[in-house]
Structure 1
Amino acid sequence: MLWAAAIYNLAWGALAVLWPRLAFDWAGMEPPNYPSLWQCIGMIVGVYGVGYAIAAYDPVRHWPIVLVGLLGKVLGPIGFLWANRHGELPWIAGLTNVTNDLIWWVPFGLVLWHAWQFSRVNPS
């Protein structure tokens, strides 16, 4: 699952960096005035992919990477809902929350649960 998250984040990040208008064109939204900001977001998402690849080798040891990822995946949809409620983003823009965030909540939560259980049985 962490390998899938790594590949997904690297691919999504690369798309945002290389084609910063693509997601906006697909959603029928006005493209950003500063595409470099969207490209920066793509770079951050891609870096998360590197972190997930590292965590995939030993999820129990690298649980903090998964925790940071889960926090982002929870806060992202909250930020979207705030922006939508204030008229800054249309509902169509929230579709990206499904694949970028929501589908990872349970798997990331399970990794963290496993790491916590492991630490209780095997204290350092």
Structure 2
Amino acid sequence: MTPPTFYSPAWMTAALLTAGVYNLAWGTWTVLFPTLSFAYSGMQQPDKPLLYPQLWQGIGMIVGVYGIAYILAARDPVAHWEIVFVGFLGKVFGPIGLAFGVLTGESRPEALATIVPNDLIWWVPFALILRHAYRVHRTPRPAVGDP
């Protein structure tokens, strides 16, 4: 049985497709070029190289998988609101963790620049998609077979 398709404004699909492509690109770049992407992220200390590139590549893999999920959710943002919700949580908690790292001296302040394209710009569209999904799911629907 196919899940129901709900109306979603076209911008929601566009936002999720854009987020998906962006995350796939960022994740792929991080997996293929871990040292370069780590240095670009502002997280590398001037006197310390990237010691465990496979961990940074693992983060890139996770980001890329999120990209695939966003592309899948773009087909029906309301039906796939859970994917948007998990992505939204990551885009909120990631910057909180990075800010904590900067405040404790574990991360460089330059690293905060990466949260704008990776996280902050997605807060509003993801939140609006979630609000729309909540409203749609709250609306009563006739039972199957009702006239």
Structure 1 residue ranges without an equivalent (≥5): none
**SS at 1:87 equivalent:** coil
TM-score by length of 2: 0.80
Work out which of the residue numbers 3, 24, 28 in structure 2 matches 1:10.
24
Write out per-residue CA displacement over residues 32-82 of structure 1, whole angstroms, 9 at most, x where no aligned residue: 200000000000000000100110000000000000000000000100011
Q: What is the CA-CA distance between 1:22 and the residue it aligns to?
A: 1.4
TM-aligned CA distance change 1:28 to 1:87, over 3 Å: closer
- The answer to whether structure 1 residue 109 and structure 2 residue 127 are counterparts is yes
Matched-pair contact (CA < 8 Å) for 2:38–2:56: no
Over the aligned positions, Cα root-mean-square deviation in angstroms equals 1.5
User: Which residue matches 1:25?
Assistant: 39
Matched-pair contact (CA < 8 Å) for 2:43–2:107: no
The aligned amino acid for 1:7 is: V
> How many matched pairs?
124
Q: What is the CA-CA distance between 1:28 and the residue it aligns to?
A: 7.8
Q: Which stretch shows the higher mean deviation, 71-80 or 15-24?
A: 15-24
Identity of aligned residues (%): 54
Structure 2 residue ranges without an equivalent (≥5): 1-14
**SS at 1:32 equivalent:** coil
User: Which residue matches 1:79?
Assistant: 97
Work out which of the residue numbers 32, 35, 39 in structure 1 matches 2:53.
35
Q: What is the CA-CA distance between 1:121 and the residue it aligns to?
A: 1.3
**2: distance between equivalents of 1:24 and 1:51?**
24
TM-aligned CA distance change 1:122 to 1:21, over 3 Å: farther
The ranges of structure 1 where at least 4 consecutive aligned residues each deviate by more than 6 angstroms after the TM superposition are none
User: Which residue matches 1:65?
Assistant: 83
TM-aligned CA distance change 1:118 to 1:14, over 3 Å: same
The aligned amino acid for 2:96 is: I
**Quick check: which has more Rg, 1 or 2?**
2
